[in-house]
Amino acid sequence: MEDLTADDTYQLDPSTADSVLDESKESDLMKPPSIFTPELLTECTKVTYRFRCPGPGVFQCTLTGLVFVVDQEAGLLYRTVQWDERILQLSAGKMVAGLLFDIQCPEGGLSELHLPHSVSKEALRPDLLSVSSDGIHPMEPLKVTNTHMIVKLHHQSTLGVIYNFFIPSLTINGQVLLFLQPPNTQWRILNVVLLQDSIPLQEVRSQQCGAEFINISGECPLIHGQSYSVHSDCEEAFIQPSEYSFRLKYGPNFPPSFEVFLPRECNEVTLMLQKDDEMREVIWERKVSLPGLLQAAARNLEQDNVSEEKLRSCRLKFIECMSSPNLDKVLDELHDRGVISDSEREKVAGERGRDKARMVVDMVLKKGDEACSDLIDLVRKGDPYLSRKLNI
């Protein structure tokens, strides 16, 4: 991983202090944190967050909701990792309550951590949540607030919030996320994603394959196991599936819960999220303005003009995942298009496995954006599954 560098983009925001359930325990832990936006290091669909705390204090990440308490200047490097299914099966009677974070502070100084949770205030009890260290060892929290679990850190590890009981109809603070897919010839397609509100937007956005995030208020209560349906005021809209049973998601993938197909000329639509029960209660309703087709096409073209950046961001994944037969085919077509010369082709042909893939991608990266665009185009046509995996 790259070295951590200084970053001064933080400011004090008193409005972010959590309300504490156990108000009898006064603590400096609840001092208002300094807010920061971390640097993002993106590789394919994986996101790593980086920030340098300028000195002792309490610092909250705007993208993940994590709060770090440090007692000295310190560099932070953190990312989400996948829960071990084997460990989850061993945790009988418990439920995962959020993402699992791998948090590194190479210089030391990180003493406490506030992990976000999504349990609604009405459903929250102090004994409901605990923190899992390294995916298995439970940690007793110092405090439980309406939004966070606070733990003392003695060593660096992976940490995640778990429910101490299996709760079949748990009410959580949820969010509705909307992503507009790139224009096609017949429909405008909105991806509707239902998640608990502790899931960072960046983790979902990185998997949307060029779809544009629609910034709209999405807060709403959601119930684990409850069925929901989406409705529209557009008579020509087609929505699939007809209903969706909400489940808590903790990664690594966050696929759409619904897809809303709208006519190409549609620039505004009202969407409603409804409980599929006897009451048929509408729990979320918004008027959504969609960007015009010309603006959407221009943005899509602009994205296509940064092929070198896209290819560089997924370089390691390309090297790991590119199969030998596909690589040989790509190599032939790059030669036919004039991207690589006869001598370069012969040089690459002498390599094998990952060394061969590494030589191809590095050779193309040195030739600029147009060459990178050719390679991306060949991957898209030759292996759509790999293209989606690489997010190109």
pLDDT tens-digit series, residues 126-176: 788 888 875 556 777 888 888 898 998 866 678 888 888 888 888 999 999
Rounded Cα gap, residues 167 and 374, in angstroms: 51
Mean pLDDT confidence for 90-112: 82
For 5-14, 288-297, 349-358, which range has the lowest pLDDT when averaged over its residues? Answer: 5-14
One-letter amino acid identity for 18?
Answer: D
Is residue 351 domain-resident? yes
Is residue 1 domain-resident? no
pLDDT classification of 61: cutoffs 50, 70, 90: very high
292 and 197, same structural domain? yes
**Averaged pLDDT score across all residues of the chain:** 82
Is residue 381 domain-resident? yes
Rounded Cα gap, residues 190 and 137, in angstroms: 40
Rounded Cα gap, residues 237 and 223, in angstroms: 26
Q: What's the pLDDT at 280? A: 92
Taking a C-beta distance cutoff of 8 angstroms, is the pair 79, 102 a contact?
Answer: yes
Mean pLDDT confidence for 171-186: 88
pLDDT classification of 62: cutoffs 50, 70, 90: very high
Total-model pTM: 0.66
Is residue 3 domain-resident? no
Q: Which of 261, 296, 331 represents a domain boundary (last residue)?
A: 296
Q: Between these two residues, 93 and 135, which has the higher pLDDT value?
A: 93
290 and 189, same structural domain? yes
Determine the 3-state secondary structure of 86 from DSSP. Answer: helix
> Which CATH number goes with the domain that contains 351?
1.10.533.10
Is residue 5 domain-resident? no
199 and 103, same structural domain? no
Number of domains in the chain: 3
Q: Which of 273-277, 307-311, 331-335 has the highest mean pLDDT?
A: 273-277
- Sheet (strand 10-12) strand order: 10-12, 34-36, 57-61, 67-70, 110-116, 148-152, 143-144
% of the chain residues with pLDDT over 70: 83
